[in-house]
């Protein structure tokens, strides 16, 4: 799971007139070691468990800041909680999309067809961007459905 790129953040923040502080470093570090869809709560308690006493407010503010600066992606799988993950470059090998179980909220990252998807996306992005005069920065692709566990449970019930 090594999502490197530890350096560079400092620079990215600096360029936006922001300081690199302990809490910010710790939060980014945590996200980089857990390359997946974390909620504010997830992060807050995970850090608390590692004896890092960072306020909930700071977590919220840090994450929002990172989103504004394109370092993180924010999305919602339908449970009303915002989720954050490193904004992997479209071409990076860590880039992925999500399969979301609408029963239990399980999220599966996949990048099986990423290449084909990306190819189409790039084309679509370019043309939509021109047609609607819209600067496209990012995309979200989510498949919603029922995971194998929930399907099993459902069979048992019926």
Partner DNA sequence: ATCATTGCAAAGTTTTTGCACCTGC
Partner DNA sequence: GCAGGTGCAAAAACTTTGCAATGAT
Give min distance, CB of 120 to a copy of itself, in A.
5
Closest CA to 34 of 75, 79, 83, 81: 83
Residues in contact with DNA, counted by CB under 7 A, come to a total of: 26
Closest CA to 28 of 92, 94, 93, 87: 87
29 binds DNA (CB under 7 A): no
DSSP label of 154? H
Identify the residue among 8, 45, 56, 91 touching DNA (CB under 7 A).
56
| From the list DNA, a copy of itself, none, partner contacted by residue 22 (C-beta under 5 to 8 A by kind) | DNA
Contact assessment for residue 77 and residue 100, using Cβ atoms and an 8 Å cutoff = yes
104 binds a copy of itself (CB under 8 A): no
Give min distance, CB of 39 to DNA, in A.
6
Per the listing, tokens 């990306």 go with 118
Give min distance, CB of 35 to a copy of itself, in A.
18
Contact assessment for residue 77 and residue 107, using Cβ atoms and an 8 Å cutoff = yes
Identify the residue among 32, 34, 58, 92 touching DNA (CB under 7 A).
58
Q: Which CB, 60 or 88, lies closer to DNA?
A: 60
SS (H, E, C) 13-81: HHHCCCCCCHHHHHHHHHHHHCCCCEEHHHHHHHHHHCCCCCCHHHHHHHHHHHHHCCCEEEECCCCCC
Residues that bind a copy of itself in the complex, under the rule CB under 8 A: 74-76, 78, 80, 82, 99, 101-102, 108, 110, 112-113, 116-117, 120, 123-125, 127-129, 131-148, 151
Residues that bind DNA in the complex, under the rule CB under 7 A: 10, 13, 17-24, 39-41, 53-58, 60-62, 64, 80-82
């Amino acid at each position: 799971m090594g999502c490197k790129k530890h350096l560079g953040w400092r620079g990215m923040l600096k360029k936006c007139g922001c300081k690199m502080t302990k809490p910010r470093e710790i939060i980014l570090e945590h996200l980089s070691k857990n390359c997946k869809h974390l909620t504010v709560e997830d992060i807050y308690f995970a850090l608390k468990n590692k004896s890092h006493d960072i306020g909930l407010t700071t977590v919220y503010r840090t994450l929002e800041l990172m989103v504004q600066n394109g370092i993180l992606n924010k999305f919602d799988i339908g449970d009303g909680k915002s989720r954050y993950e490193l904004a992997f470059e479209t071409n990076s090998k860590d880039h992925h999309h999500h399969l979301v179980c609408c029963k239990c909220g399980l999220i599966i990252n996949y990048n099986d067809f990423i290449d084909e998807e990306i190819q189409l996306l790039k084309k679509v992005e370019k043309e939509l961007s021109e047609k609607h005069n819209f600067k496209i920065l990012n995309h979200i692709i989510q498949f919603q459905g029922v995971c194998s566990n929930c399907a099993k449970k459902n069979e048992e019930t019926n």
